[in-house]
């Protein structure tokens, strides 16, 4: 069963200077029990995508077309606010970059974790027990005592783990994690990712993991979706995309990661140029101005080409990859 | 190296852009119109007034508005239109002058309190709180006692009452900005405290205050009118909207027009500045960016 | 890289008072650090939050008072100088800050921003327009950027403005605090390449603060790894990367994985919690998280010694390619 299926999603915002097309024909799937990563840089539309899924688009945004199918039966684009509220926190939950987005500073975390369970029929004692159990799962030391404490008494890394515990407590089918480790130190990030992985296996939920940190995506995710300027330029399993990138942007992005460079070099690769103004989207391929492989055909919008076993790239040259030496 | 991205040129100044946006809002347009009207009338009072505001004509008392006396006459036969125009001069010069003075003093004190050493901040807050705990009327009475009923007393009262409020706001913003990275960057370049306050902090904290000030102007006008109404402000025969109101109130049985003449300009000016201020505030509210 | 060092930091300590009246104590943000930087050299300070690297950088720049030790710049002692005396020094030592856009005054144009150093030091007789054009060209921005405001710049562009401002008065030393923070991966290289290029062209010395070891690899000649305010390992970048001698360095290196899904997961996992500066662990301060810790580590403070060209503060410096022993319950965790 596919937990989340996004098809041809188009989202735009009305601004003072015109209509801004934030997402264009975005399609990807999150199968059951899989971790899907979304990789992209600033302006790629990841936040808009999450907001669209959660029904939290700003007032000046709207879903122009497309579908977001959840658990094979709920069409999220047509649900009203009350129905979305019923889903959020129960079937779909989120963890954000800043744990204080989930933690109320004036309520003890135990109380917050009990409050989250308000829809459940359990007794208060059972709710407290579940809360303590979740804290133990995320390795918060001295879990029972921790219930009585307030968010500010915990360090950043611990707060994030508490936020993860809160998100997974109701055993959702989909966890959306938006840059959950970006603000954490590297060594902390490692521990948090391992935790997330362990919990995901245990609970059996799917995870949509958004990050710009390629190393973490490679390690954690089963599948990956690469976004650029509001479009999905490539998707597939992590192995497919990282070992055999078929879209020039993916290729260049991987090249740019300093961790990928083994020898010391005085000149690091970059991708020249900037993302285009999304209020004036060009007709053709959105990456063409910055692409080292652009040619005449790129003046038209490229199709999604399947290069085998679900590995899709939105590029005319997707099935004609460059030989390895040429990309040095 | 990256080439410049072609982009529409930045607006000359943020203020010009804001002004144009104000004009696009109906209330904003109305506000600006009223304010401009009032200021124009005040500046050109001499030219626009049909007669001398203090000229007494006992035979023409209590005339309703007509061709010769646009707003009628008061209990001494004085032309109300002329009195209102000249009263406007007083009202607006007090309003703008006193507000200007309060702003300047408030900004300076606020910057010092926010950026300076802790003990100075504590001391200044103490003084501000002490001032704010005085009821305005009492303050007014004390100053009138000291300086006699006069414009000076009014202005002083207004300034003293307004300074703590502005200073407080500037102080809070300054404290917030003190630790901003661009301020640290300026310090690391060797900028003096005066330069940091003037170039880096002041322009970034002054915005909200200007909006508040424009919404405070009606309050100042009301204070002046109130004091004059009570006889504590300008002395007769100098016309003031407040004293016209007073005359109107005393003679309400004879005619209603004096009250109207005194009250209307106050209402119009208040509305004008309030609409203007609120429109400005709405424009600068980041949450309402989208349309 | 010969000759006298441009910057010499000697046994510097930075203490912060904590607690209220009656219960005052202090914590050491920087707990005794020494290093030198020579002309044309890039020296990197690496550490995570709480390591003291930013505090140390600010202390060198005179923005933070030190409680012990000396800082010598171009042969002159600069720690504890009064503000007026420090001002001319600031022409020769420039600092770049973490937030690319936030370190630029929001209501000033790019032109004003890059020429501010001239105005601060009373050098207004220069043709500021020419200087603006020159500086912008040096960092690869065209002239029309001079009229933009910070909020109209991308992260990469804002960074370059910061660099332009830093080199405005031809300093001999630049301190760059997290130069790649807030930048997308695809533009990180821009800033690093630019700094490298300028360094060669203008003969600058640089101190780079970062938590990203991979960035360090490409830009620094020497690196110092900091933990809880002390250096745990210093040495030439290449050597430190090939064979980290201190367990913390090894853990940091393994914590930034390569984006390769097939690579073996040889992660060195550390218990996540960093000790509080109020309660520094006895002996070697890293022992509470160190996979190789032994009894001696909790009792004795390790002396700094030379290992393969590096200075390491560890009782049992790692051999190249060392793997952590199997996880066992550690009583002190």
B283 falls in which pLDDT band (50, 70, 90)?
A: confident
Whether the CB-CB separation of C204 and C126 falls below 8 Å is answered with no
**Closest partner CB to C218 (pick from A212, A239, A264):** A264
pLDDT at B3: 31
Whether the CB-CB separation of C258 and C244 falls below 8 Å is answered with no
The DSSP bridge partners found for residue A15 are A18
**Over pLDDT 90: what percentage of chain C?**
37
Residue C143 and residue C149: Cα distance in Å, rounded?
A: 13
Long-range CB pairs of C25-32 (<8 Å, 24+ gap) are: C25/C278, C27/C277, C27/C278, C28/C229, C28/C277, C28/C280, C29/C55, C29/C229, C29/C277, C30/C55, C30/C56, C30/C59, C30/C66, C30/C229, C31/C228, C31/C229, C31/C230, C32/C68, C32/C69, C32/C229, C32/C230
Residue B202 has what DSSP assignment?
H
Phi-psi region of A170 (alpha: psi -120 to 50; beta: other; left: phi over 0): alpha
Measured between beta carbons, the chain B residues lying within 8 angstroms of A13 are 290
CB distance from A57 to chain C under 8 Å? no
pLDDT at B211: 82
**Closest partner CB to B290 (pick from A14, A272, A274):** A14
C319 φ/ψ angles, rounded to the nearest 5 degrees:
-80, 155
Residue C181 has what DSSP assignment?
T
Least confident window among B79-93, B141-155, C145-159: B141-155
Beta strands, E only, chain C = 7-18, 25-37, 42-46, 68-73, 76-77, 93-96, 173-177, 205-210, 222-227, 230-236, 304-307, 310-313
Residue C246 and residue A203: Cα distance in Å, rounded?
A: 38
pLDDT exceeds 60 at position A282: yes
Residues near A13 by Cβ (< 8 Å), separated by ≥ 6?
A: A19, A20, A22, A58, A60, A61, A62, B290
3-state secondary structure of C125: coil
pLDDT at B135: 87
**Over pLDDT 90: what percentage of chain A?**
41
C323 φ/ψ angles, rounded to the nearest 5 degrees:
-110, 150
Of the two residues C233 and A18, the one the predictor is more confident about is C233
For residue C88, give both structure tokens. Answer: 């001319």
pLDDT exceeds 70 at position C131: yes
Angle at C267 between CA A226 and CA A263, to 5 degrees: 70
Average pLDDT, chain C: 86
pLDDT exceeds 60 at position B6: no
Residue A263 and residue A252: Cα distance in Å, rounded?
A: 17
Q: Which of residues 272-291 of B touch A (CB under 8 A)?
A: 289-291
pLDDT exceeds 90 at position B57: no
Residue B84 and residue B42: Cα distance in Å, rounded?
A: 9
Torsion angle of the four alpha carbons C101, C104, C110, C114, in this order, in degrees rounded to the nearest 10: -130
Whether the CB-CB separation of A25 and A8 falls below 8 Å is answered with yes
For residue A302, give both structure tokens. Answer: 């490229």
What is the value of ipTM here, to two decimals? 0.86
Measured between beta carbons, the chain C residues lying within 8 angstroms of A41 are 184-186
Half-sphere exposure of B100 (CA within 13 A, CB side): 6
pLDDT at C235: 92
Q: What are the pLDDT digits (tens) for A186-233?
A: 778 888 888 898 999 999 999 999 988 888 888 889 999 999 999 999
Mutation test of the interface with chain B: which of C63, C94, C107, choosing the one with the most B Cβ atoms within 10 A? C107
Whether the CB-CB separation of C91 and C189 falls below 8 Å is answered with no
Average pLDDT over residues B11-37: 76
pLDDT at A263: 67
Per-position b or e across A173-183, b if 16+ CB within 10 A of its CB: bbbbbbbbbeb
Q: If we measure between CA atoms, which residue out of A181, A210, A194, A219 comes closest to residue A139?
A: A194
pLDDT exceeds 50 at position C153: yes
Average pLDDT over residues A166-182: 90
pLDDT exceeds 60 at position C332: no
Whether the CB-CB separation of C98 and C175 falls below 8 Å is answered with no
| H or E, element range at C78 | none
CB distance from B10 to chain A under 8 Å? no
Least confident window among A157-166, B140-149, C143-152, C200-209: B140-149
Angle at A45 between CA A44 and CA A47, to 5 degrees: 125
Burial class (CB in 10 A: 0-12, 13-18, 19+), B291: exposed
Q: What are the pLDDT digits (tens) for A245-281?
A: 999 999 988 888 877 766 666 778 888 877 888 888 8
Whether the CB-CB separation of A268 and C193 falls below 8 Å is answered with yes
Q: If we measure between CA atoms, which residue out of A212, A209, A130, A132 comes closest to residue A171?
A: A130
For residue A75, give both structure tokens. Answer: 């069409």
CB distance from B2 to chain A under 8 Å? yes
Q: What are the pLDDT digits (tens) for B139-169?
A: 878 888 887 777 777 788 888 888 998 999 9
Q: What is the pTM of this model?
A: 0.81
Q: What are the pLDDT digits (tens) for B115-134?
A: 999 999 999 999 999 988 88
**Closest partner CB to C259 (pick from A252, A260, A264):** A260
pLDDT at C89: 92
Measured between beta carbons, the chain B residues lying within 8 angstroms of A272 are 2
Residue B231 and residue A229: Cα distance in Å, rounded?
A: 69
Average pLDDT, chain B: 83
* Cα–Cα distance list, A10 to A57, A67, A304, B242, C48 (Å): 13, 9, 16, 61, 40
Tokens 């300074």 sit on residue = B163
Half-sphere exposure of A265 (CA within 13 A, CB side): 16
Average pLDDT over residues C277-299: 85
Sign of CA dihedral A144, A147, A148, A154: positive
Cα separation of the two ends of chain B: 37
Of the two residues C115 and B59, the one the predictor is more confident about is C115
Ranked by mean pLDDT, the top range of B170-184, B209-223, C117-131 is B170-184
Residue B28 and residue B5: Cα distance in Å, rounded?
A: 35
pLDDT exceeds 90 at position C2: no
Whether the CB-CB separation of B181 and B154 falls below 8 Å is answered with no
pLDDT at B201: 92
Q: If we measure between CA atoms, which residue out of C156, C151, C164, C217 comes closest to residue C181?
A: C156
Burial class (CB in 10 A: 0-12, 13-18, 19+), A308: exposed
Measured between beta carbons, the chain C residues lying within 8 angstroms of B203 are 107
**Closest partner CB to C185 (pick from A185, A214, A266):** A214
Residue A233 and residue A230: Cα distance in Å, rounded?
A: 9
Angle at C85 between CA C80 and CA C89, to 5 degrees: 95
CB distance from A254 to chain C under 8 Å? yes
Whether the CB-CB separation of C150 and C104 falls below 8 Å is answered with yes
Bridge-based pairing state of the strands A61-70 and A35-39: unpaired
CB distance from B206 to chain C under 8 Å? no
Measured between beta carbons, the chain C residues lying within 8 angstroms of B2 are 140, 156-157, 190
């Amino acid at each position: 069963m596919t937990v989340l299926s996004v098809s041809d999603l188009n989202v735009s915002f009305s601004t003072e200077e015109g209509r801004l097309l934030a997402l264009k024909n975005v399609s990807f799937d999150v199968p059951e029990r899989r971790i899907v990563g979304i990789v992209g840089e600033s302006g790629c539309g990841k936040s808009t995508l999450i907001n669209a899924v959660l029904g939290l688009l700003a007032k000046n945004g709207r879903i122009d077309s497309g579908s977001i199918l959840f658990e094979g039966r709920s069409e999220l684009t047509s649900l009203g606010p009350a129905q979305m509220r019923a889903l959020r926190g129960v079937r779909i939950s989120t963890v954000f970059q800043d744990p204080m987005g989930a933690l109320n500073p004036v309520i003890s975390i135990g109380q917050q974790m009990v409050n989250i369970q308000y829809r459940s029929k359990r007794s208060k004692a059972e709710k407290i027990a579940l809360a303590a159990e979740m804290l133990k799962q995320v390795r918060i030391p001295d879990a029972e005592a921790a219930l009585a404490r307030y968010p500010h008494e915990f360090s950043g890394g611990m707060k994030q783990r508490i936020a993860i515990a809160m998100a997974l407590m109701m055993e959702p089918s989909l966890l959306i994690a938006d840059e959950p480790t970006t603000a954490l130190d590297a060594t902390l990030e490692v521990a948090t990712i391992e935790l997330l992985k362990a919990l995901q296996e245990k609970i059996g939920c799917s995870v949509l993991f958004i990050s710009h940190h390629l190393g973490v995506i490679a390690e954690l995710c089963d599948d990956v979706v690469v976004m650029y300027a509001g479009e999905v330029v490539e998707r597939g399993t992590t192995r497919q995309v990282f070992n055999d990138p078929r879209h020039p942007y993916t290729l260049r992005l991987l090249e740019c990661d300093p961790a990928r460079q083994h020898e010391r070099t005085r000149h690091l690769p970059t991708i020249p140029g900037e993302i285009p103004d999304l209020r004036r989207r060009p007709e053709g391929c959105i990456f063409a101005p910055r692409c080292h492989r652009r040619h005449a055909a790129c003046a038209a919008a490229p199709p999604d080409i399947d290069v085998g076993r679900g590995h899709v790239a939105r590029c005319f040259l997707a099935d004609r990859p460059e030989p390895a030496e040429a990309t040095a | 190296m990256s080439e410049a991205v072609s982009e529409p040129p930045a607006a000359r100044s943020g203020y010009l852009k804001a002004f144009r946006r104000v004009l696009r809002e109906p209330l904003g347009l109305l506000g600006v119109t009223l304010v401009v009207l009032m200021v124009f009338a005040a500046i050109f009072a001499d030219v626009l007034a049909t007669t001398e505001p203090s000229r007494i004509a006992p035979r023409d008392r209590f005339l309703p508005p007509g061709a010769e006396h646009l707003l009628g006459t008061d209990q001494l036969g004085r032309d109300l239109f002329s009195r209102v125009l000249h009263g406007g001069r007083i009202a607006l010069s007090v309003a703008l002058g006193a507000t200007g003075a309060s702003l300047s003093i408030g900004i300076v004190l606020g910057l010092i309190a926010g950026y300076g050493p802790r003990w100075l901040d504590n001391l200044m807050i103490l003084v501000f709180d002490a001032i704010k705990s005085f009821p305005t009327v009492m303050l007014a009475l004390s100053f009138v006692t000291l300086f006699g009923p006069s414009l000076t007393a009014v202005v002083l009262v207004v300034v003293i009452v307004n300074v703590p409020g502005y200073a407080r706001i500037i102080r809070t913003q300054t404290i917030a900005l003190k630790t901003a990275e661009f301020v640290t960057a300026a310090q690391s370049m060797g900028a003096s405290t005066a330069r940091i306050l003037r170039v880096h902090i002041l322009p970034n904290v002054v915005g909200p205050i200007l909006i508040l000030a424009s919404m405070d102007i009606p309050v100042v006008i009301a204070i002046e009118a109130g004091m004059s109404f009570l006889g504590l402000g300008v002395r007769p025969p100098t016309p003031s909207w407040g004293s016209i109101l007073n005359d109107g109130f005393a003679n309400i049985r004879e005619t209603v027009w004096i009250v109207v003449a005194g009250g209307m300009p106050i209402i119009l000016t208040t509305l004008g500045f309030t609409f203007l201020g609120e429109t400005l505030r709405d424009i600068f509210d980041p949450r309402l960016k989208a349309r | 890289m010969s000759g006298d060092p441009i910057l010499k930091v000697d046994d510097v300590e930075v203490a912060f008072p904590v607690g209220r009246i009656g219960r005052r104590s202090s914590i050491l943000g920087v707990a005794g650090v020494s290093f030198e930087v020579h002309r044309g050299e890039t020296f990197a300070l690496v550490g995570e939050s709480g390591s003291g690297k930013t505090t140390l950088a600010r202390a060198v720049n005179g923005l933070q008072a030190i409680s012990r030790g000396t800082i010598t710049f171009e042969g002159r002692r600069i720690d504890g100088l009064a503000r007026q005396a420090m001002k001319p020094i600031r022409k020769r030592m420039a600092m770049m800050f973490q937030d690319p856009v936030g370190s630029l005054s929001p209501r000033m144009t790019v032109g004003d921003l890059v020429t501010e150093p001239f105005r601060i030091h009373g050098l207004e007789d220069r043709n500021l327009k020419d200087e603006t054009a020159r500086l912008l060209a040096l960092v690869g921005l065209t002239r029309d950027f001079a009229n933009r405001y910070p909020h109209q710049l991308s992260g990469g562009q804002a960074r370059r403005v910061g660099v332009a401002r830093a080199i405005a008065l031809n300093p001999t030393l630049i301190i760059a605090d997290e130069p790649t923070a807030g930048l997308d991966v695809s533009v990180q290289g821009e800033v690093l390449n630019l700094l490298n290029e300028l360094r060669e062209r203008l003969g600058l010395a640089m101190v780079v603060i970062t938590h990203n070891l991979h960035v360090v690899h490409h830009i620094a000649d020497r690196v110092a790894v900091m933990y809880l305010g002390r250096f745990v390992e210093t040495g030439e970048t290449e050597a430190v990367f090939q064979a980290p001698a201190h367990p913390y360095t090894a853990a940091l290196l393994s914590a930034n994985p390569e984006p390769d899904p097939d690579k073996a997961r040889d992660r060195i996992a550390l218990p996540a919690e960093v000790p509080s500066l109020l309660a520094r662990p006895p002996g070697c301060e890293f022992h509470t998280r160190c996979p190789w810790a032994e009894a001696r580590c909790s009792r004795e403070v390790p002396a700094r010694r030379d290992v393969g060209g590096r200075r390491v503060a560890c009782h049992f410096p790692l051999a190249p390619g060392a793997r952590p022993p199997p996880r066992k319950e550690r009583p002190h965790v």
